[in-house]
Amino acid sequence: MRSPAPQSPGADPTGAEPATRQQASTGPTLPRRTGRLVLRPFRHGDETDVLAYRGRADVVRYMLTDPMPADIAEAFVQERLGTTRIAQDHDRIVLAVEYDGRVIGDVLLMAGELASRQAEIGWVLNPDFHGQGLATEAARELLAVAFGDLDMHRVWAQLDPRNVASARLCERLGMRKEAHFRQDLWFKGEWSDTAVYALLADDWHANRPLSARPGT
Ligand SMILES: CC(C)(COP(=O)(O)OP(=O)(O)OC[C@H]1O[C@@H](n2cnc3c(N)ncnc32)[C@H](O)[C@@H]1OP(=O)(O)O)[C@@H](O)C(=O)NCCC(=O)NCCS
């Protein structure tokens, strides 16, 4: 959720692996319910909740965007009303994270080239709800969408290494730190570094609770 993707090498069109594991669907069944959250498509009426977090300078400090002005919220929601499927290269799924009837954040899954079965994951949460594991819960569900529903091979995240909360979230999800690029991005008035974290499907399947695996 930070810079143009440096990732996702295209799949070898002559090889068999990228698209053959199974016929993946292009979109998850929605909404997704977790223990405390509902992940659902955005809808009209979410604008005030979105502004409450995306309008804050501290929230977007390490994101590519600036604090959202109030008059942009409607367009933000409008653009995301139908972002629920990955059917073409670079499609994205963006879902509102609802807690107790309120949108407290949003999560993103953005595909590269479909043939490579890789996607970038991203998250943002209202600070009033930090520190309770809610972002972890939402992101875990999105990984289930990516690996379970969409049959992705690899999910990756990129972040400013100074964004410690985001790095810790990657680690809680079992993502491995794969790269640290030094001063690769001119970002908000300074050169900044980029860390890349990733998780492979095999690792996700191996570490899922037994109760969540088919046939158990
Ligand atoms: C990144 C971000 C979503 C992380 O939020 P967060 O509140 O730290 O993450 P979680 O909701 O998963 O909560 C985890 C914290 O709650 C604690 N916690 C409490 N109950 C928990 C539970 N049941 N499960 C997991 N963690 C729990 C954890 O110990 C952890 O605290 P710690 O980091 O002090 O160890 C948040 O900082 C954010 O929105 N930042 C701004 C947007 C941004 O930068 N996005 C990323 C751009 S790359």
- For the chain, 216 residues long, the average pLDDT of each consecutive 10-residue run is 49 54 76 98 98 98 97 98 96 98 98 97 98 98 97 98 98 98 98 98 89 60
Residue 182 lies in a domain: yes
pLDDT value of residue 215: 55
Q: What is the CATH number of the domain that holds 130?
A: 3.40.630.30
User: How far, in Å, from the CA of 172 to the mean position of ligand 1?
Assistant: 9
Question: Which of ligand 1's atoms lies nearest the C-alpha of 129?
Answer: 7
Residue 153 lies in a domain: yes
Instruction: Output the pLDDT for position 19.
Output: 60
Task: For residue 158, give the ligand 1 atom closest to its CA.
Answer: 48
Residue 2: per-residue pLDDT: 65
Residue 198 lies in a domain: yes
Residue 89 CB partners (closer than 8 Å, separation 6+): 111, 112, 113, 114
**Does a structural domain hold residue 89?**
yes
Dist. CA 145–CA 152, nearest whole Å: 9
Measured CA distances, 10 to 89, 97, 109, 117 (Å):
11, 31, 18, 9
Closest atom of ligand 1 to CA, residue 131: 16
State the CB neighbour count (10 A cutoff) for residue 9: 9
Q: 61, 103, 107, 123: which to mutate for ligand 1, most atoms within 8 A of CB?
A: 123
Query: Do the domain assignments include residue 6?
Result: no
Per the domain annotation, does 21 fall within a domain?
Answer: no
pLDDT at 46: 98
> Is position 120 within any domain?
yes
Q: Within a domain: residue 148?
A: yes
Look up the pTM and report it: 0.91
The total domain count for the chain is 1
- Residue 33, SS3 per DSSP: strand
The residues lining ligand 1, judged by C-beta closer than 6 Å to any ligand atom, are: 1-2, 59, 62-63, 122-125, 130-136, 159, 163, 165-166, 168-169
Domain that holds residue 171: 28-209
